[in-house]
Amino acid sequence: MRFPIALAALLLLSTGIHAQDRTIPPDPSVTPLPPVTGKGVQIYHCQQQQGAPAWVFVAPEATLYAGAEAVGSHGAGPAWRWKDGSAITGKLLINQPAPDRASIPWLLLAASPALDSAPNGMLAHVTYVRRSDTHGGMPPAACDARHLGAVARVPYAAVYTFYKAAERPRARH
């Protein structure tokens, strides 16, 4: 079952969650997998936006680590791919400012299997992705006429927590 956006926002407000808290709550019927760390870059393009130069987000490009082991990747879509071939794409539900204003926001995304995903694997039944504990990744300050067309690759790190639907107990006969 997908968690409706309005219900997610209501839960966020009713639980008193503030930007300083460590979590953005997903649907309470899901179970978190062990979190992984994403390390890479946020890519921005300096272009005209509403008549003025501005940095426009293009995509993330990161490697996912469980401890020191590279276990997957994160890229445009947004998409996550595990080394076992399972993959998901995300749709934004909640965007929350990071406690550190110099870091990219914390997010909660609804997840769906990618078209080319392996049918089984670590990400096969993931329904939500939470990005938290972000460091860096904000676009550079200068995007003006002299920088039009420039691409910025800004280093960042974040914790990604993947959530699976809780398994239902099997009926006994």
* pLDDT of 4 over the 60 cut: no
Is the pTM higher than 0.85? The answer reads no
Q: What percent of the chain has pLDDT over 90?
A: 69
| Per-residue b or e along 59-72, where b marks 16 or more CB atoms closer than 10 Å to that residue's CB | ebbbebbeeeeebb
* pLDDT of 150 over the 50 cut: yes
Distance CA 9, CA 104 (A): 19
Instruction: Provide DSSP, 78-138.
Output: TEEEETTS-EEEEEEEEEE--SSTTBPPEEEEEEEE-TT--SSSTTTTEEEEEEEEEEEBP
| Annotated domain spans of the chain | 37-165
Instruction: Provide DSSP, 5-63.
Output: HHHHHHHHHHTT--TTSS-----TTEEEPPPEEEEEEEEEEEEEETTEEEEEEEEEEEE
Give the three-class secondary structure for 66: strand
Q: What is the pLDDT of residue 27?
A: 76
Question: Using 50, 70 and 90 to split pLDDT, how confident is the model at 132?
Answer: very high
Q: How many CB atoms lie within 10 A of CB 38?
A: 22
* pLDDT of 1 over the 70 cut: no
Of 2 and 52, the structure prediction assigns the larger pLDDT to 52
* pLDDT of 11 over the 90 cut: no
Q: What is the pLDDT of residue 25?
A: 65
Q: What is the pLDDT of residue 26?
A: 73
Mean of per-residue pLDDT scores for the chain: 85
* pLDDT of 39 over the 60 cut: yes
Of 112 and 8, the structure prediction assigns the larger pLDDT to 112
